[in-house]
Structure 1
Amino acid sequence: MTAPEPEALDARVLDHLNRVVESRKGADPDTSYTAKLFAKGPNKIAQKVGEEATEVIIAALAEGPDKVVSESADLLYHLSVLWAQTGVAPEQVWAELARRFGTSGLEEKAGRAPGA
């Protein structure tokens, strides 16, 4: 993956990441880890998201801030691959986050369907 320009080293880096991930669909799995994940399918991608989430938790509880940063980057990458695999555009996630602004987290959670 090519690095974004230095002036884009803020939240826009996620947009760059998502474009790169999308570009790896159909690429050669022998030359791209992302393409290899796509080739293995949604079950493997979802498994990797779960593994990375667990690693973030472990880092937060036992390994310190630097490891939380590293594992969080891994989680965001794998989440980006999962979104691409399932047809979710990052803009849909950003819109959902924006929709929730101004709403108490307790109110938002209470408004969900049971079990959600």
Structure 2
Amino acid sequence: MHPAALIVDRLWHLVEQRRRSGDADVNHSSRLMARGTAKVAQKLGEEAVECVIEAALGNREATVLESADLLYHLVIVWVEAGIQPEEVWAELVRSEGVIGVAEKAANPRGLFRAAGTTKLF
């Protein structure tokens, strides 16, 4: 496994440990998860927007910092949803050859699922 993936795996285990401890008074992960899945997802969205804004402004250092925050909150979403990092790594491997524009355009299921429709217009 790539060393970077090991960092995410260690982070996942730490967040999972904090979820099990349920000590919302002591750490951010537990406090956020205690507020429920919708709040966890909302926080991920906020972090994604902050990352996008910094990237759009060309703030490289801030984009790096916001990217780290985004990954951290993504891991919290995984823990909250019961998703193991290995599942994500396996999906990345599976889709490795299917990452081009044409391939993604031919498979818009995620967009349709999120919109609750099968039509774009």
TM-score by length of 2: 0.81
Range 98-107 or range 88-97, more displaced = 98-107
| 1:19-98 equivalences in 2 (<5 Å) | 19-27=13-21, 28-98=23-93
Cα distance per residue 1:62-109 (max 9 Å; x no partner): 151110110000000011001110111111111111111122422431
Aligned residues between the structures: 109
Q: CA RMSD in A?
A: 1.9
Partner of residue 3, structure 1: none
Note if contact 1:100-1:108 (Cα within 8 Å) is conserved in structure 2: no
Runs (5+) with no aligned partner, structure 2: 114-121
Report the CA distance shift for 1:102/1:70 in structure 2 as closer, same or farther (over 3 A). same
Report the CA distance shift for 1:88/1:65 in structure 2 as closer, same or farther (over 3 A). same
Percentage of matched positions with identical amino acids: 43
- Cα drift, residue 60 of structure 1: 0.2
